[in-house]
Amino acid sequence: MKRTTTTIAGLAPTTLERLRLVSTATLTTQLFKRGLRNTFVRGVHRVSRPGPNLVGPAFTLRNIPSREDIDQLKVFEDPEHPQRKSIETVPPGHVLVVDCRGDTGAASAGGILLARLEVRGAAGFVSDGCVRDTPEIAGMAFPVYCAGGSAPLNLVRHHAADTQRPIGCGGVAVYPGDVIVGDGEGVVVVPAHIADEVAVDAAEQESLEEFVTAEIRAGRPLPGTYPPNDATRARYAKWRGRRAKK
Amino acid sequence: MKRTTTTIAGLAPTTLERLRLVSTATLTTQLFKRGLRNTFVRGVHRVSRPGPNLVGPAFTLRNIPSREDIDQLKVFEDPEHPQRKSIETVPPGHVLVVDCRGDTGAASAGGILLARLEVRGAAGFVSDGCVRDTPEIAGMAFPVYCAGGSAPLNLVRHHAADTQRPIGCGGVAVYPGDVIVGDGEGVVVVPAHIADEVAVDAAEQESLEEFVTAEIRAGRPLPGTYPPNDATRARYAKWRGRRAKK
Amino acid sequence: MKRTTTTIAGLAPTTLERLRLVSTATLTTQLFKRGLRNTFVRGVHRVSRPGPNLVGPAFTLRNIPSREDIDQLKVFEDPEHPQRKSIETVPPGHVLVVDCRGDTGAASAGGILLARLEVRGAAGFVSDGCVRDTPEIAGMAFPVYCAGGSAPLNLVRHHAADTQRPIGCGGVAVYPGDVIVGDGEGVVVVPAHIADEVAVDAAEQESLEEFVTAEIRAGRPLPGTYPPNDATRARYAKWRGRRAKK
Amino acid sequence: MKRTTTTIAGLAPTTLERLRLVSTATLTTQLFKRGLRNTFVRGVHRVSRPGPNLVGPAFTLRNIPSREDIDQLKVFEDPEHPQRKSIETVPPGHVLVVDCRGDTGAASAGGILLARLEVRGAAGFVSDGCVRDTPEIAGMAFPVYCAGGSAPLNLVRHHAADTQRPIGCGGVAVYPGDVIVGDGEGVVVVPAHIADEVAVDAAEQESLEEFVTAEIRAGRPLPGTYPPNDATRARYAKWRGRRAKK
Amino acid sequence: MKRTTTTIAGLAPTTLERLRLVSTATLTTQLFKRGLRNTFVRGVHRVSRPGPNLVGPAFTLRNIPSREDIDQLKVFEDPEHPQRKSIETVPPGHVLVVDCRGDTGAASAGGILLARLEVRGAAGFVSDGCVRDTPEIAGMAFPVYCAGGSAPLNLVRHHAADTQRPIGCGGVAVYPGDVIVGDGEGVVVVPAHIADEVAVDAAEQESLEEFVTAEIRAGRPLPGTYPPNDATRARYAKWRGRRAKK
Amino acid sequence: MKRTTTTIAGLAPTTLERLRLVSTATLTTQLFKRGLRNTFVRGVHRVSRPGPNLVGPAFTLRNIPSREDIDQLKVFEDPEHPQRKSIETVPPGHVLVVDCRGDTGAASAGGILLARLEVRGAAGFVSDGCVRDTPEIAGMAFPVYCAGGSAPLNLVRHHAADTQRPIGCGGVAVYPGDVIVGDGEGVVVVPAHIADEVAVDAAEQESLEEFVTAEIRAGRPLPGTYPPNDATRARYAKWRGRRAKK
């Protein structure tokens, strides 16, 4: 499944591309510099095949606890059921982000729904609950992040309540349109209004850290190297110049 | 503060009165008989003065995790802020039920807001988070149920997102209009569409249990008495008849 | 309800009386001296009226998770149902100790069953789950220890599996016949085979600590006083002698 | 180690074979249809080599918290020690299911005991506690499910109390003889009395879902396809007919 | 036990007095205004007799997990044992703040040690673990805040490691000399270097809130009153002027 | 990166070599025999490349909760910052052990710091918090044990307070110089003063267990084999003799 570089309204064209190349660790540092300390989704990891970063704006789905008289299998016959509707309406390039209140007692999606998401061109799936069919999902290239595998169907614990409202996911606020980035460590939520500048600064930070790592590997001590003092910054400027020429 | 017997659209006139006299324990049994096992709000107790049951339809407020750039003190200057708006718009006789995702790291209300709720004639307040000013609230007759006291203001953890949508509270689904009942044990959520019949059957169950308790206190064994066999039911019928005459 | 001094097979006649006068804190120290570090039931407190120590041998009841097809209200019509049977068969002076796996999502007993236990002369009730009807139980002199109030009936979470087998309660091993002691702090489990000697040593420890407290209140520093050095022990011997004469 | 198709008293001959080919996700849906919502063992995953489904009737072992004066290394010299006895007596084709109260502070088995289980022809091992020697167990084909690796020997936390009684495992009731099924997602407990019909219906559900997945992959939307409407069901009938001929 | 108004080096003379009259809720708002969101000690409440605020600079004691070969009863014979030493050396007017890593499996102090603290003129005791002898401590005027009662002596879980180093308590950083304030809701940690200004602003905030509460009780709506607009602030200025004259 | 056999003051020359060849499971049994039950670090696993055992004396670093006014990025410019200092001063062959209070909300180190540790010849890194850059660390041969990956930088949750003091890590006491051993199961802490004898006995235990495993695989039952009776021990003595000759 080839993911195309979606142009997202309100984001600089290069922002998504930059975010595909930086780590969630770097992004949390950039967000910390801007006063945001709670941006990394807790308890969530990639359960699909390792691969490039997940990047895309959030499309949100919210679950509340299920109730036995409402949440029976027949609900899925209604095409307006919010879970099913969300999968049919998430725009290409967007990430379906699901609020499960961190409840891991049931799935919030399974193999068939995730296959449909992939076919529809969604960028990925993030849930602070679980998914089912994880043995099958482990082989998918489509990026799926969640708290793990849980076989019971969603109705055992979850009632899909609404879509495209602000939610919490893994303890972090997610507003529709916030930029979701996932790598091998986890998922970070970048507020939409600062995504462009964060992407630029994160890319620059990673360039510097690549240089610093090489210096450390070559035997330099932390003081003066990390964080870099003026001498190190000067060496970095040269290194960067040489790089740019290649 | 005198609480008037509010007539609530869609409920039999006597339903609220009946629910004021039965326990949450009895109600969960009636709901269990109807296939509903998850109706008792977890982790919540009365922090205001002991008193009669809290009874009223739910008016819901939902919080998501706060974000430092959005949730600053100035938000309260906006009369449309959902937390403040909910307090000004909850109809008399209704219960403000707040979804805090069970996060106890901050308050979801304090003394001033709860005083305003009381003045406005709300029936009570239920939150699966905390409140602040608990030493003062401990003396209020206005029924306040929550997870305990937590001094930090809501903005430390909570962003009020919207009102009158289905929420989760203490692991239980709460739909606007569901009937909330709170006693000295905790809070139960009675789905609106069965509240009338549940109220009738709960009152009858309590009458029977009052008789059974007297029998047990008088030395009868559990078998045949609780649950009652035909002989016990016959004695109960007489006892009830005598009672009705008084 | 007057509790008589039951003579329990295998225990010295004075053991239960001694245990009524010592604290659970003292008992855990005596058990620690004998290599037992895990004897205090976790997460449990007295929910009935404050009063003298609960003391008595354990009679055990074990719950496993309930299953919807088995655990319906009709099970209570069977007098052999282990929960009901345990209440009808616990010997006078014994403590019904219930293993709920620490699950607080439902009650493990309620007002009627506890009333029957009291009428039958049981010494008390200990559960690492909850009870229902706590507002009523708060007024009972009969000692009830548990994790708190939870309205839903036991069948929502618990299936009574068997009685008089070794169980875990609040993380502590409880063998039938172990001596249960509860005070205002909580519940400790004293293995039956050392209960006599522990009771003697605990009483002596409390006598010494009463003296030490008086010394500390009078201004003595901790070193030399607590633990006592030879001089303090000599003063204690005199103090004790004077006391014995009164 | 080749696992033979054991015939289990009371089960249709094909039931175990069918259960080897269906997922735990499918089984929980079939159990949900029958009113059973709590059947998936929580907190447990396969720590041995990935492979075919674990399938077999449960043979149960129960642990309570250990006590220092009882649980010393010498207990293992007694061939009647319940843990050791259970390993020597579990019938071929059965699954040893262990109740550790979810305590992960010690092992409930290790490499030598699991090797003996395998040699004896047991179908597998499930514990809601941990095992030790996980680096070695990771290479075993014998199916081992548990909460992870924990080096300390069982006596640090567990006292093996009895076998073949109803237990809880990962929050689920397990009765001796219940059919245990484990796949790459986890473990589900199928009550013995419905295992035959659940196996049949689960196999049929998987056949339908294989067809639905192909349709979704081919671009069909969820509405009408999943769940299938009459047209989809008609296409499925044909697909199934073609398959049967092959 | 009369608590004298201690003069603490580095604090304005009136700071402690002001802090005695404001709530922890007010203080967390003042700290939030200064960018400090994590200042309220989690999981801790007053277990001694209700009374005036606890106020005083922190004197810290740190526990690590105990080890069986080191932490035997004989350690208390050493007057240099950090727990005992801390009690003998905490300066009058200071608060002994204890880091128990939130472990509630044992006591961090008991009746005798707390009596000695009181006699020595300490301002109070705060621990994120438990204390023993809570039935006795419940009657003490000396302010004791902790996670509750736990009978086992500290050595079961805690090794007193050192004093007067920065610690964590209930998830909050505590530096020696930080000003501890406890009321009926819990405990807040005020960094020493801003304690004076926080005390002034908190007193002013409480004055305003007293006025606002009266307005709300008199029927004013939240908008314009809380937070106050210019008109309300003008009324407040008058009210305050009248008050000052009394 | 080749790890040299460091000679550590106070340890027999062969101790570290022996500990490289035994499992943490074996070590916990040897420690249990000496009365130490709490020696296995909870919640920690190897996040770097699988490889030989981590073995080395502990060099400790302690974190407390961070505070917004103190823990800003500029702190890293100070070469005396305890986290940075610890990395520059941990002696070759030692293990940096970090106390994060089990808080997984932020990293306690990242790729650059761990690279510096490796270059400096440290034996490994153990933290009961998380690290960042786990996708990169997963490929390192340098042994890194922690609770998992968490992108946010340490300042979000942690303030490095001091080094080389006794700490808790994963619920276990760690004194500077205690011998840390990590394998594919986790990390065990061996008190320094018994490390030599534990290493000898652990090696002998593993030799016996290798023989026992072979016997079990060959079909012998547990009784008489594990634990071994005299006949088995005699066979073992022969087996061992044959081995020694090879």
pLDDT in tens, D123-144: 999 999 999 999 999 999 999 9
Q: Is F155 left (phi over 0), alpha (psi -120 to 50) or beta?
A: alpha
Mean pLDDT over each residue of chain E, to the nearest integer: 95
Cα angle for residues F89, F92, F94 (degrees, 5° grid)? 85
- The amino acid occupying position A162 is D
- Please state, in angstroms and as integers, the Cα–Cα distance from residue D195 to each residue in A151, D18, D202, following that order: 17, 10, 10
Structure tokens at A154: 């969603």
Please tell me the distance from the alpha carbon of residue A139 to that of residue A144, in angstroms, as a whole number.
11
Which residue reads 């009165």 in tokens?
B17
For residue range A170-190, what is the model confidence (pLDDT) as tens digits? 999 999 999 999 999 999 999
Chain E nearest CA to B152, separation (Å): 5
Chains A and C touch (3+ CB pairs under 8 A): no
Widest CA span of chain C, in angstroms? Answer: 69
Q: Look up the ipTM and state it.
A: 0.94
Nearest Cβ partner for B153 among E28, E42, E221: E28
Element (H, E) at D219: none
Alpha carbons C126 and A154: distance in angstroms, whole number:
36
Other C-beta atoms closer than 10 Å to the C-beta of B34 total 15
Nearest Cβ partner for E186 among B112, B151, B153? B151
pLDDT in tens, D54-77: 999 999 999 999 999 999 999 999
- pLDDT at residue C5, as a whole number: 46
Q: What is the C-alpha separation between C234 and C241, in angstroms, rounded?
A: 11
Q: Do D40 and A111 touch (CB under 8 A)?
A: no
The mean predicted confidence, pLDDT, of chain C is 95
Instruction: Provide the pLDDT for residue D3.
Output: 41
Neighboring chains of E (3 or more beta-carbon pairs < 8 A): B, C, F
| Three-state secondary structure of A51-62 | CCCEEEEEEEEE
Q: Looking at residue B246, what is its pLDDT?
A: 73
For residues D206-215, average pLDDT:
97
Chain segment D19-54, per-residue pLDDT in tens:
999 999 999 999 999 999 999 999 999 999 999 999
Contact D209, D78 (CB under 8 A): no
**Contact: chain E with chain B (3+ CB pairs below 8 Å):** yes
Query: Chain A residues with CB inside 8 Å of B164's CB?
Result: none
Is the predicted pLDDT of residue C55 greater than 70, yes or no?
A: yes
DSSP, res F111: H
Distance from CA of residue A82 to its chain's centroid?
21
- Closest chain F C-alpha to D37 CA, distance in angstroms: 30
Q: How high does pLDDT run on average in chain B? A: 95
Over the stretch A76-134, which tens digit does the pLDDT of each residue have? 999 999 999 999 999 999 999 999 999 999 999 999 999 999 999 999 999 999 999 99
Closest partner CB to D212 (pick from A77, A112, A152): A112
pTM, two decimal places: 0.96
Taking each helix axis from N to C terminus, what angle separates D24-33 and D195-217, rounded to the nearest 10 degrees?
120
Tally Cβ neighbours within 10 Å of residue D5: 12
* pLDDT tens string C75-109: 999 999 999 999 999 999 999 999 999 999 999 99
Residue E192 DSSP class: G
Nearest to B185 among C104, C112, C134 (CB): C134
Q: Given the DSSP bridges, would you call strands B167-169 and B172-174 parallel, antiparallel or unpaired?
A: antiparallel
Per the omega criterion (within 30 degrees of 0), is the bond before F227 cis?
Answer: yes
Q: B151, E37: Cβ pair inside 8 Å?
A: no
pLDDT single digits (tens) D150-185: 999 999 999 999 999 999 999 999 999 999 999 999
pLDDT band at A7 (very low <50, low <70, confident <90, very high): low
Beta carbons of A162 and A180 less than 8 angstroms apart: no
Q: Does F173 touch chain E (CB under 8 A)?
A: yes
Instruction: Kindly list the residues from chain D whose CB atom is less than 8 angstroms away from the CB atom of residue F27.
Output: 151
Tell me what pLDDT residue E7 has.
58
Distance CA F70, CA C60 (A): 54
F42 with D104: Cβ contact below 8 A: yes
With helix as H, strand as E and coil as C, how does B58-87 read? EEEEEEEECCCCCCCHHHHHCCCCHHHHHH
Mutation for F interface: D153, D155, D158, D159, most F CBs within 10 A: D153
Of B28, B221, B226, the CB nearest to C152: B28
Residue A148 CA to residue A135 CA, distance in Å, equals 11
Nearest to E216 among B105, B119, B153 (CB): B119
C-alpha radius of gyration, chain B, whole number: 20
Q: Running DSSP on this structure, what letter comes out for residue E37?
A: -
> Are the beta carbons of F18 and D142 closer than 8 angstroms?
no
Contact C116 B222 (CB under 8 A): yes
Q: Give the integer Cα–Cα distance in Å for C138 and C181.
A: 19
Examine the pLDDT at C186 and tell me if it is beyond 90.
yes
Residue B137 has pLDDT above 60, yes or no: yes
- Which residue is it, tokens 């000067």? A234
CB B200 within 8 A of CB B18: yes
Contact: E88, C183; criterion CB under 8 Å:
no
Compute the nearest-CA separation of E72 from chain F (Å): 12
Contact (Cβ atoms closer than 8 angstroms) between residue C10 and residue C177: yes
Q: Smallest Cα–Cα separation from D145: which of D25, D51, D29, D28? A: D51
Q: Considering only CB atoms, which chain E residues are within 8 Å of C216?
A: 112, 115-116, 119
* The two structure tokens encoding residue E154: 């500290």
pLDDT mean over B192-217: 97
Task: State whether residue E29 sits within 8 Å of chain B by CB.
Answer: yes
Residues with Cβ within 8 Å of B229's Cβ and at least 6 positions away in sequence, in order, are none
| Rounded Cα gap, residues E199 and E186, in angstroms | 17
Return the sign of the alpha-carbon dihedral for residues C219, C220, C223, C227.
negative
CA distance B31 to B190: 8
Q: What is the pLDDT of residues F170-215, one digit of tens each?
A: 999 999 999 999 999 999 999 999 999 999 999 999 999 999 999 9
Instruction: Please say whether the dihedral angle defined by the alpha carbons of residues F24, F29, F35 and F40, taken in this order, is positive or negative.
Output: positive
Query: Which of chain F's residues have a Cβ under 8 Å away from the Cβ of A32?
Result: 73, 152-153, 155-156
Q: What are phi and psi of F80, to 5 degrees?
A: -90, 0
Among D33, D184, D221, select the one facing A134 at the smallest CB separation.
D184
Cis peptide before B82 (omega within 30 of 0): no
Counting as contact any 3 or more CB pairs under 8 A, the partners of F are: A, D, E
F and D adjacent (3 or more CB pairs under 8 angstroms): yes
Q: Which domains does chain B have, with CATH numbers?
A: 37-190 (3.50.30.40), 198-245 (no CATH)
Q: How confident is the model at residue E108 (pLDDT cuts 50, 70, 90)?
A: very high
Residue A58 corresponds to which tokens in the numbers above? 């959030």
State mean pLDDT over B98-117.
98
Sign of the dihedral through C-alpha D128, D129, D133, D134: positive
Say what the pLDDT of residue E11 is. 87
**With an 8 Å Cβ cutoff, is D81 touching chain F?**
no
Chain D, nearest residue to C172 by Cα: D65
Q: Which residues of F141-179 are buried (b: 16+ CB within 10 A; e: fewer)?
A: ebbbbbbbbbbbbbbbbbbbbbbbbbbbbbbbbbbbbbb
Is A91 in CB contact (< 8 Å) with chain B? no
Tokens 């199961």 sit at which residue?
Answer: F185
Count of beta carbons in the 10 Å neighbourhood of residue D2? 5
Distance of CA E163 to the CA centre of its chain: 18
User: Are the Cβ atoms of A25 and F155 closer than 8 angstroms?
Assistant: no
Q: Give the best residue of C103, C112, C136 to mutate against chain B (max B CB count within 10 A).
A: C112
B186/C150 Cβ within 8 A: yes
- The residue ranges of DSSP E strands in C113-220, in sequence order, are 124-127, 144-146, 158-163, 167-169, 172-174, 179-182, 187-190
Tallying the residues shown for chain B, one arrives at 246
How much is the pLDDT for B12?
87
Mean pLDDT of E24-39: 98
The pLDDT value recorded for residue B7 is: 58
* Chain mean pLDDT for chain D: 95
CA-to-CA distance for B182 and B45, rounded, in angstroms? 9
Tell me the shortest Cα–Cα distance from D183 to chain A, in angstroms: 8
pLDDT band for A10, please (50, 70, 90 cuts): confident
CB-based contacts of D193: which residues, under 8 Å, 6+ apart? none
Label residue E9 by pLDDT band (50, 70, 90): low
d(CA E91, CA C1): 50
CB contact under 8 A, D151 and F188: yes
When CB atoms are compared, the residue of B40, B45, B216 closest to C152 is: B40
Is F167 touching E (CB cutoff 8 A)? yes
- Determine the pLDDT at residue D5: 46
Q: Please, do chains D and E touch (3+ CB pairs < 8 Å)?
A: no
| pLDDT for B196 beyond 90 | yes
Contact criterion met (CB below 8 Å) for B94 and B176: no
| % of residues, chain A, pLDDT over 90 | 93
D8 touches chain C (CB under 8 A): no
SS3 E4: coil
CA D55 and chain centroid, separation: 6
Q: Give the nearest partner residue to D40 out of A76, A115, A150, using CB atoms.
A: A150
